[in-house]
Amino acid sequence: MSTIADRIAHVRARIAEAAEQAGRRPADITLVTVTKTHPPERIAEAIAAGSLDLGENRVQEAIAKIATLAADHSRLRWHLIGHLQRNKARVAVESFDLIHSVDSLRLAETLNRHASDLGRRLAILLQLNVSGEASKEGFDLSGGLRNHAALDQFLPQIEAILALPALEICGLMTIAPIVEDLDAARPVFAELRTVRDELARRYPNADWHALSMGMTDDFPAAIAEGATIVRVGRAIFGERP
Ligand SMILES: *Cc1c(COP(=O)(O)O)cnc(C)c1O
């Protein structure tokens, strides 16, 4: 049985390989180790192996772990990658360093209010659904820039979010549909990058550099299409219970 440290080393090697094949620098890709469902003792093994960026998808589950692990580790960065309900927004602002899953203007406004109250600026990514899969959360932009009706709905919301003073947009996030073939997800990742490039062109004063895309089954394809953050759980911890 390989250890968590072995598997992290293996994932890092695959990230480096995918980056080099794409003519990119491995250092420009952040590995977020997805720790959902796993207890603090196993997460501590990942931290010992150098994983300082940790991803959780539920606020309630995360806060206990964050509190436990904070005692021994001061330099962790916690990423919220799952859907956030507005009634958990305050705790999320207090607990996370980057929220990947901002999927509505209303949620952004709520986060802005809590971040202002707490006297901090909050880094966020906008979650987009560019594949049109019904089950996926995120701003609906299936078909990407060719979907003019969706774009007409989307852009005014983005402008409203850009005007919220306590939020700092850093880029976009998506979840690709589950597919058998690794390369089948690639057009979805390419679409997200295309949308990002268009937003950067329209709104050059904001920072759009981050593309959070790619998980255990598809992160090399995401890196080939420009991912700057990959979110990997099973390749590190094994199948979830
Ligand atoms: C669980 C999860 C991941 C990690 O998925 P794996 O297949 O375990 O790598 C990544 N992103 C999101 C949003 C998740 O919920």
Give the pLDDT confidence of 141-181 residue by residue, as tens digits: 998 999 999 999 999 999 999 999 999 999 999 999 887 77
Mutate to test the pocket of ligand 1, among 8, 10, 81 (most ligand atoms within 8 A of CB): 81
Q: How far apart are CA 100 and CA 13, in angstroms?
A: 24
Residues 6 or more apart whose Cβ sits within 8 Å of residue 13? none
Residue ID of nearest Cα to ligand 1 atom 12: 81
Atom of ligand 1 nearest to the CA of 175: 13
One-letter amino acid at 138 equals G
Instruction: Using pLDDT thresholds of 50, 70 and 90, give the confidence band for residue 135.
Output: low
Atom of ligand 1 nearest to the CA of 82: 13
Check if the beta carbon of residue 46 is closer than 8 Å to that of residue 11.
Answer: no
Check if the beta carbon of residue 82 is closer than 8 Å to that of residue 60.
Answer: no
Residue ID of nearest Cα to ligand 1 atom 10: 231
Q: What is the pLDDT of residue 134?
A: 61
Class of domain 4-237: alpha beta
Q: What is the pLDDT of residue 210?
A: 98
Q: Is 57 in the pocket of ligand 1 (CB under 6 A)?
A: yes
- % of the chain beyond a pLDDT of 90: 89
Sorted by where each begins, the domain ranges of the chain are 4-237
Mean pLDDT in residue range 123-138: 87
Q: Is 232 in the pocket of ligand 1 (CB under 6 A)?
A: yes
Q: According to DSSP H, which parts of 27-140 are helical?
A: 40-48, 59-70, 89-95, 105-117
Atom of ligand 1 nearest to the CA of 173: 13
> What is the CA 77 to chain-centroid distance, rounded?
12
**Separation of 225 CA from ligand 1 center, angstroms?**
18
Q: Look at residue 155 and give its three-state secondary structure.
A: helix
Q: What is the pLDDT of residue 184?
A: 80
